[in-house]
Each structure stands twice: as C-alpha cells, then as structure tokens.
Amino acid sequence: MDFENGNVKLTVTGDTLCAYISGEIDHHSAKTIREAIDSALTSYSPDALILDVSEISFMDSSGLGLVLGRYTKASEAGISFSVTGVSERTKRLFDMAGLDRIIDYDNKEKKR
C-alpha cells in the first residue's frame, strides 16, 4: 500500500507501517498527517509503526504532539514504535520534551 497526502507518505511493508513525514510541521499541517497515519493504523493493523522525519524542514511543539500522540496510540494497541531520520534540530526539540526517555529514535539522517 502506498499513500501520499501533502506532508506524509505512507507505505506498508509486511507488518510495518512507515510514515515519511516531510516539509513544515506545525499545528496546521499536523492535523492532516495525524488523520492519515491514524486511518492507516486502523485499516492495516500493523505490528510496527515507524515515523521517518528525515525530510522535515521545520517543526514546532505541534510536531511533538503529533509524535507523542502516535506513540500513545501505538503503545495502547501493542504496536512497536520508533522514529528515524531525526536531524540535530529535531533532536533538540525531542530532547527538550523528554522524548528520549520514552521513544526509540536515532539522529542519523536516513537515506531513502
């Protein structure tokens, strides 16, 4: 399954749902991304959810809410959750929010 809508592209490979998030993530864009990911979680019931944030050019605390919200949903459903492609800038925000204590993420720029 491939799905693309503005700031998010979704792919399902085996039991893994990967969401490639790109562009500017603020309160305005987070809503569409959140709805797309949640809809795919319901439709495909994957065993793992990966958020790839390597193509994000801007993120504020709305992006933190987006990540934390998906983490909570995945945890409640018993789905493994990770974030990949975290830039130094995004990592600064994540660390500020204490995400490093609850979410598995790397800060290596991932090449697609």
User: Using the rule CB under 8 A, is 34 a contact of other proteins?
Assistant: yes
Distance CA 55, CA 82 (A): 16
Helix (H) or strand (E) holding 34: helix 27-44
Binder of other proteins out of 12, 55, 69, 107 (CB under 8 A): 69
Distance CA 86, CA 47 (A): 22
List 21's β-bridge partners, or say none.
8
User: Using the rule CB under 8 A, is 62 a contact of other proteins?
Assistant: yes
Binder of other proteins out of 60, 100, 106, 109 (CB under 8 A): 60
Residue whose tokens read 């959810």: 49
User: Using the rule CB under 8 A, is 93 a contact of other proteins?
Assistant: yes
User: Using the rule CB under 8 A, is 108 a contact of other proteins?
Assistant: no
User: Using the rule CB under 8 A, is 89 a contact of other proteins?
Assistant: yes
Question: Side chain identity at 71, as an amino acid letter?
Answer: Y
Residues found near other proteins in the complex (CB under 8 A): 24, 26-28, 30-31, 34, 58-62, 64-66, 68-69, 89, 93, 96-97
